[in-house]
Amino acid sequence: MAKYTRIKKSKNLRYKLISILYLLFISLSVLQIPIGWLRVNHNIEALMSSVELSDMKVENIERAKSLILKTDSLFISTAGVDPTTGKLLSPENYSVSDRFFKKQKYGEEIHKALWVINDSVSNLPDDDRVKTRFNELFVSDIINGLAREIGDQWITWKFEHVPATVAHLLLNDLHLKLNLLKGEFHIQGREAKATLNFILDYNLDNLQVGDTAYFVYLGLGEPILNTDSLIGQDYRFEWKGDSLLFVPLNSGPFILNFKLSNEGRTFNLDVLPESFESKKSGYPLVQYAGLPIKIPLRTSSSNLKFDCSCSENLKVDIQNDSLFFRPINTGWCKLLGYKNNRSQITFLDSIFIQELPTPLVYVDGISGDNVSRKKLKQLKSLEFVVQLPEQEADFDFSIKSIEAKLHTRDSSYFKYSQEMLSFTEAEIDNLFYIEIQKLIVNSVVGETQITDRLIINVKGDD
């Protein structure tokens, strides 16, 4: 019997992915413990008591968290995402990870941010709770080079030959560990502290205009939200029992200061502009130039003014809490919503405008691609209908010119016309079939040339 078992590279990669997913599942399971249950379970409250962090350490952690979120967003766009599903186009591709984190140096930026945190806690006493928690969360990273100022070893260990979907998970894992280190998802201990006891019941890193941030207070008395730091901001808030519901109504930084007697706590929120509600409902964010677009909005956006980059002087309307407009130009169309001026952006999102697909052409008044000679003599002309595939909205084409080739029993010749194709009775008597070679049509997006051949057979000797 062999002393060692050789594991294939593909299986070894799969085992690593399963291990990462398992650890992430355990962490997320802890975070999903209901707040109401934690309030009455003092053992869990004491077990999950948060550590105290200095302002400098908090600033370093926030800077690293922000960097990781931005890097993850850039990595996802670099790897490529299916716009309809939001999933990576090639989740197993590892070359994009090597290029992004090693050659393009994004791994160095993350390592530097984490190294600064490691350096700041390494000088603390061994029994310090901050140092203990950091070493527990980042034990594997420290062993593999995080403690070194030059990050080559850590970057290679962390991201080299890692599939794109695993790299995405690793970035989220680092962000989660920093949240746990800061104590955002932990409950303060029961002893008196210099900061108010709050639990955050919302992912504030992804807070958008119109979203609700929840703050739960675990103590006696009722803290006060100092609104002096919110002057000039648009927001609303409401206390419900021991919970504060805070709703930002414009994007940008918000500073929330809570005070109770001599205690206080400050939260810094970076609120993002609102985006399409349709992203949650699966509405396709790929549209066609010239076709009217109607996309549902949140009610809070129905009173905004909108501009778009699709074309100049394009009219953007709000109808029944939906955005309605007809783009002309192709490419990415950025939509910007604001209340009074463009410096206070409340809504920001993009959709991709594609060129119109080739329209379908058929002849009005005949069945399929055959017409009887008798029917053609009654019609005396052929009228063409031009439509887009699966067209639901109103979109008009006007025929500018027609190029046809008429085939008789003895010869063939070209015929040119506008709007419709007319025939004399003598022409109809000799026709064998009609070949439409080119149509030029006009629409709101300009002139379109249709060169797909259309054959119309003339049947019968009448």
pLDDT of residue 109: 92
Containing H/E element for 12? helix 9-31
Tokens linked to 292: 């009217």
pLDDT of residue 108: 92
Judge if 102 and 140 occupy the same domain. yes
The percent of the chain in helix, strand and coil, each rounded to the nearest 5, is 35, 30, 35
pLDDT of residue 39: 46
Average pLDDT over residues 383-390: 78
Judge if 368 and 349 occupy the same domain. no
pLDDT of residue 110: 92
Average pLDDT over residues 119-146: 85
> CATH number for the domain including 262?
2.60.40.10
Judge if 181 and 197 occupy the same domain. no
Final residue before a domain boundary, out of 272, 306, 336: 272
- Reported for 295-302, long-range contacts at CB under 8 A and 24+ positions apart, including other chains, are 295/322, 295/323, 295/351, 296/321, 296/322, 296/323, 297/321, 297/322, 297/323, 297/347, 298/210, 298/274, 300/209, 300/210, 300/249, 300/274, 301/210, 301/274, 301/337, 301/346, 301/347
Sheet holding 252-260, edge to edge: 224-226, 252-260, 263-271
Judge if 182 and 227 occupy the same domain. no
Judge if 179 and 79 occupy the same domain. yes
Distance CA 76, CA 88 (A): 7
Distance CA 442, CA 448 (A): 6
**pLDDT score of 91 more than 60:** yes
Distance CA 383, CA 431 (A): 17
Judge if 140 and 202 occupy the same domain. no
pLDDT of residue 203: 54
pLDDT of residue 200: 53
Query: 66, 75 in Cβ contact below 8 A?
Result: no
Judge if 86 and 8 occupy the same domain. yes
359-391: burial string, b at 16+ Cβ within 10 Å, e else: bebebeebeeeebbeebbeebeebebebebeee
Distance CA 78, CA 99 (A): 10
Q: Among 43-47, 125-129, 272-276, 379-383, which stretch is predicted with the lowest mean pLDDT?
A: 43-47
Average pLDDT over residues 110-129: 85
Judge if 24 and 107 occupy the same domain. yes
Please state, in angstroms and as integers, the Cα–Cα distance from residue 384 to each residue in 46, 360, 364, 381, following that order.
Answer: 78, 10, 6, 10
What does pLDDT average to over the chain?
A: 77
pLDDT of residue 257: 86
Of the ranges 37-46, 149-158, 222-231, 363-372, the best mean pLDDT one: 149-158
Tokens linked to 281: 């409902």
pLDDT tens-digit map of 396-426: 788 889 898 899 888 898 988 888 888 888 8
CA angle 184–190–193, rounded 5-degree value: 70
**pLDDT score of 33 more than 70:** no
pLDDT tens-digit map of 281-313: 455 556 787 777 777 776 666 677 787 777 666
**Residue 232 DSSP symbol:** T
Q: What is the pTM of this model?
A: 0.44
How far is residue 22 CA from its own chain's centroid?
Answer: 26
**pLDDT score of 10 more than 70:** no
Judge if 241 and 386 occupy the same domain. no
Judge if 32 and 57 occupy the same domain. yes
Query: 255, 266 in Cβ contact below 8 A?
Result: yes
* DSSP letter for each residue of 13-55: HHHHHHHHHHHHHHHHHHHTS-HHHHHH-HHHHHHTPPPP--H
Q: Among 82-86, 145-149, 285-289, which stretch is predicted with the lowest mean pLDDT?
A: 82-86
Judge if 185 and 201 occupy the same domain. no
* DSSP letter for each residue of 392-432: -S----EEEEEEEEEEESS-EEEEEESSEEE--HHHHHHEE
Final residue before a domain boundary, out of 247, 272, 297: 272
Final residue before a domain boundary, out of 127, 158, 191: 191
Pairing of strands 360-364, 322-325: unpaired
Tokens linked to 338: 């604001």
pLDDT of residue 192: 35
pLDDT band at 29 (very low <50, low <70, confident <90, very high): low
Average pLDDT over residues 132-150: 89
Q: Among 141-150, 313-322, 353-362, which stretch is predicted with the lowest mean pLDDT?
A: 313-322
Q: Among 29-33, 86-90, 218-222, 259-263, which stretch is predicted with the lowest mean pLDDT?
A: 29-33
pLDDT tens-digit map of 336-363: 888 777 777 788 888 888 887 778 888 8
Q: Which residue is it, tokens 């463009």?
A: 342
pLDDT band at 101 (very low <50, low <70, confident <90, very high): very high
Please state, in angstroms and as integers, the Cα–Cα distance from residue 327 to each residue in 289, 309, 330, following that order.
Answer: 5, 9, 8
Q: Among 195-199, 365-369, 445-449, which stretch is predicted with the lowest mean pLDDT?
A: 195-199
pLDDT of residue 209: 84
How far is residue 346 CA from its own chain's centroid?
Answer: 17
Q: Report which of 391, 387, 379, 393 is spatially closest to residue 439, judged by C-alpha positions.
A: 387
Phi and psi angles of residue 388, each rounded to the nearest 5 degrees, phi first: -85, 150
The domain in which residue 263 lies consists of 192-272
Higher pLDDT, 445 or 345: 345
Average pLDDT over residues 266-292: 71
Domain count of the fold of the chain: 4
Of the ranges 131-135, 199-203, 279-283, 328-332, the best mean pLDDT one: 131-135
> CATH number for the domain including 333?
2.60.40.1080
pLDDT tens-digit map of 176-233: 888 877 764 333 333 334 455 555 555 566 788 888 888 777 666 678 888 888 888 8
Tell me the H-state helices in 32-163. 35-40, 42-47, 55-79, 95-98, 106-122, 129-137, 139-141, 152-159
Judge if 335 and 396 occupy the same domain. no
